[in-house]
Every structure is written in C-alpha cells, then in structure tokens.
Amino acid sequence: MTELEQYIHSYFGVSKEEVSRISDCFHLETLEKGDYFLRTEKICNKLSFHKSGLIRVYALEDGKEITQWISSKGYFLTDLSGLIFNKPTRYNIQALSDCEIYTITKQDYQNIANVIPRWHELEKLFIARCFIFLEERIFALLSMTAEERYQLLFNQQPELFNQVPLQYLASMLGITPETLSRIRKKIGKT
Amino acid sequence: MTELEQYIHSYFGVSKEEVSRISDCFHLETLEKGDYFLRTEKICNKLSFHKSGLIRVYALEDGKEITQWISSKGYFLTDLSGLIFNKPTRYNIQALSDCEIYTITKQDYQNIANVIPRWHELEKLFIARCFIFLEERIFALLSMTAEERYQLLFNQQPELFNQVPLQYLASMLGITPETLSRIRKKIGKT
DNA sequence: TTCTTCTCTTGACAAATATCAAGAATTTAC
DNA sequence: GTAAATTCTTGATATTTGTCAAGAGAAGAA
C-alpha cells in the first residue's frame, strides 16, 4: 500500500478494495521548491495528499504575508472554498521544498461519490475533524500567550522548526520574527 | 414554513418534501436564561437550530472564561466532537437570555441519512462552510489588530453589541474588557 | 570556493495591550 | 422602589509585543 492508501485505510476505516478504488483516482505529482500549488484569486480545482516535502499556505494582506498553515507529509491540501463552492481563494500555496503529492482533479473528485457510496459520509467526517482542529487553533489564539502558542506548536510539530524559515512559523503563530527569536532565546530552543 | 424549514430550504436547496421530512425530526425546546445547552466534559448528544435568544459558548482555562462564540438566531448549535466523534467537550454552552431552539437528538440525527439519501452530502457542505468561516476567523486573529477585529465583528453582527455583555465579546475578540472599552471610547460606539 | 542573497538575532525604542484598583452605571432580585 | 450584584469605564502603571536598524549567520548561485 502507498502512504495514501495506508492513510485512507487507517483514518477512514475503509475496506482495502474501496481504498484502492479511491486511491486509483489520485496520481503522483511533483512540485519543485518555489512552485505554486495554488495562487491567490484562482479557483482551486484539485485535492492532494501530501507525500513529502513542505508547503506553505499564505495570504498577502496590506503588503504583509500571513502564513496560515504549513503542510507536511500526511496532510491533505486544497482550498475548500474553491473545491466545493467554486470561489476564488485568498491564499497562495507554495512549495517550500521539492514535494511529492498525490492529486485528484476536481472532476474525478466530484465523481468519487459515484464509485464509493460512502464517500460523502467519509468526507463529512474528514471535514468535521478539520473543523475541530481549527476550533482548537482559535482557542489557542484567544487564550494563550505567544510563548505558550510557540510551545504548543513546537510540541505538535517539532519537525517544522529545523526545516521551515522561522519567519513563517512566527507568522503562523501571529507574532513577528523578532518576537519568535526572543522567545526561543529565552526558552533555549532545545 | 418555520424558520428552520426556510433555512434548510434556502441554504441547502432541498425540495420542500425533503425539507419537511428533515424538519419533522426536530422538536422545539426552550432554554431559560442561565440554562446550559451543554456542560464541559459531557458528550454532546444533540444538534439544534437557533430560533431566538442568545447563547454563549465558552471554556474555562486557568480560571478564566474564554468565550469562543456567541450564537444567535439562524445558527446551528452543537459540539461536533461529541455529536460525531463521541468525545467529551471542553465547552460550556449557556443561554444568555431565554431562547427557543429546534433540536434533534443524536439518535434521530444519525437516522436522518436513512430518510434523506443526500443528507451526508448536505452535511458535508454545511460543515465545509463552517470550516471556511473558522479559517477566516483565524486569518483575522493572525493579521488584524484588536481594533480592526472589533470593527469586523461590529459590522458582521452589530446586534450583539446591545444584547451581550461586552466582556464576553472582548473575550471572543481575544482582548480584555478594559481594552474593548477603550477601543469603543476611541471610536465612538455608534 | 567566493559572492550574493536571504534569514536570524540583537538592541533601542515605541506602541499595543494587560493588570489592578476604584468608582460609575446598569441590571437584577426582593 | 430600593438594595445588591453585576457590568462598564477610567486612570495609573506594568508587561508584552512590534518596529526599525544593524550586523551576524546560513544558504544558494556561479
């Protein structure tokens, strides 16, 4: 089984036969460092499973880049407002390093439900989990200091800190690079 | 049509016959001011459509109440982690005023898909919209000052400001009541 | 390598926001 | 209607975080 199949199997609890029917709809793509998966104002027309490398989701606001998320191996990648509602995105999604992703086109994506009757239900469960994840992120932003949010991110995704420019992680935490640098100095970086 | 039926009809684009089959699963409930819709550590076992009144979603963290959201007429109310994944919630959900809500039990909720074949798909669309909404909230928390977030909330839900204690709105914006008071003084409250 | 570019750190200072305390205003309870 | 409780505002001050600028360090290109 590919990583994609393993993921679908273990996360969705789908039978092996269904798994392979789903994964057949995906094809392996590569992104080179700097390539864009999606650019702002475009309508996202694909969904990908992140196999390797790092990808940054960011938006430009008042001349500043706001990093919303850094995707790494094991995440799904898309812009839901485009994929589901045909709306242009505010985000740029760009490879921070060479990447491999398994991609399904919007057409194939919309067709999966015909192949896998439970697809909408699985999707619902998946998006619900994403919703809860964002809810927790909001809670952290409302209730924690910059330092606490740093510790949380560091515990959850330590691998990011030696691969992603710290300025992007700072932005994702809602602070400036200088503040992140001082927090790390104070704490001792590990 | 009740408000619930109108909402389902206009939002989901479901036929009138399906609408009434869905809405039949809901029953009208009342909450008195101070009543809890859900308490922390419980597993949420219902989904409600908010018909009237105001309801606050908050969590206790380090002795402080963090208001995650204020629900008003037209929103759906539940804790997804309980309803879908049977996990206990971190939140308290409490009526700020006397409320009317249309409620469906978890059992009936889980049964809807048998009655309405498209239910999982509709749910997926609904939760996806909620996801995008949270994504925007995170973006606001990452990129805007307290004053800008206040203006945004004020534009989006002005009705909250003469009905909800400002301390709760402050918490929802990620600031203290004192800071909110000063922002309002500076701006001129309208 | 060597040069260039990008990234990170540090310091000095400014701005935003929090904290604490007190009193005013409003709402609730009887 | 009055008293009690809650909520809101304000001032003084502390803390956190941001801004700007400069230099150190690291990564990439030729």
Q: Any atom of strand D under 7 A from CB of B141?
A: no
Percent of chain B with pLDDT over 70: 99
Q: What is the pLDDT of residues A88-130, one digit of tens each?
A: 999 999 999 999 999 999 999 999 888 888 889 999 999 999 9
Closest-CA residue to A7 (of A48, A37, A49): A49
Is A189 a residue whose pLDDT tops 60? no
What tokens does B168 get? 């709760």
Give the type of residue at A12: F
Which range scores top for mean pLDDT: A112-116, A129-133, B2-6?
A: A129-133
User: B95 — phi, psi (to 5°)?
Assistant: -70, 130
Closest-CA residue to B109 (of B83, B74, B82): B83
User: A88 — phi, psi (to 5°)?
Assistant: -65, 150
Q: What is the pLDDT of residues B43-98, one digit of tens each?
A: 999 999 999 999 999 999 888 999 999 999 999 999 999 999 999 999 999 999 99
Q: What are the residues facing A70 on neighbouring strands?
A: A56
Is A30 a residue whose pLDDT tops 80? yes
- Tokens 């089984």 — which residue? A1
Contact B150, B183 (CB under 8 A): yes
Contact A83, A57 (CB under 8 A): no
> What are the extents of the domains in chain A?
3-116
pLDDT at B133: 97
Mean pLDDT of chain A: 93
Q: Which residues contact A92 (CB under 8 A, 6 or more apart)?
A: A36, A38, A39, A40, A57, A58, A59, A60
**Per-residue three-class SS string for A63-112:** CEEEEEEEECCCCEECCHHHHCCCCCCCCEEEECCCEEEEEEEHHHHHHH
Residue B165 CA distance to nucleotide C13 C1' (Å): 37
Contact A93, A37 (CB under 8 A): yes
Which band of pLDDT confidence, cut at 50, 70 and 90, is reported for residue A190?
very low
Contact B23, B4 (CB under 8 A): yes
Which band of pLDDT confidence, cut at 50, 70 and 90, is reported for residue B189?
low
Is A158 a residue whose pLDDT tops 80? yes
Q: In whole angstroms, how large is the CA radius of gyration of chain B?
A: 18
Pairing status of strand B46-52 against strand B76-77: antiparallel
CATH architecture designation of domain A3-116: Sandwich (2.60)
User: A79 — phi, psi (to 5°)?
Assistant: -115, 105
- Tokens 């045909």 — which residue? A86
- A 10 A CB-CB count for B33 gives 12
Contact B12, B54 (CB under 8 A): no
Q: Which residues of B touch A (CB under 8 A)?
A: 59, 61-62, 64, 66, 68, 80-81, 84-85, 90, 113, 120-121, 123-125, 127-132, 134-135, 137-139, 141-143, 171-172, 174
- Tokens 């969590």 — which residue? B59
Strand D: positions under 7 A of a protein C-beta atom: 6-12, 16-21
Q: Do A84 and B128 touch (CB under 8 A)?
A: yes
In angstroms, the Cα distances linking B30 to A27, B18, B79, B93 are 52, 25, 18, 14
Q: Report the CATH number of the B3-117 domain.
A: 2.60.120.10
Q: Any atom of strand D under 7 A from CB of B166?
A: yes
Closest-CA residue to A97 (of A148, A145, A56): A56
pLDDT at A79: 98
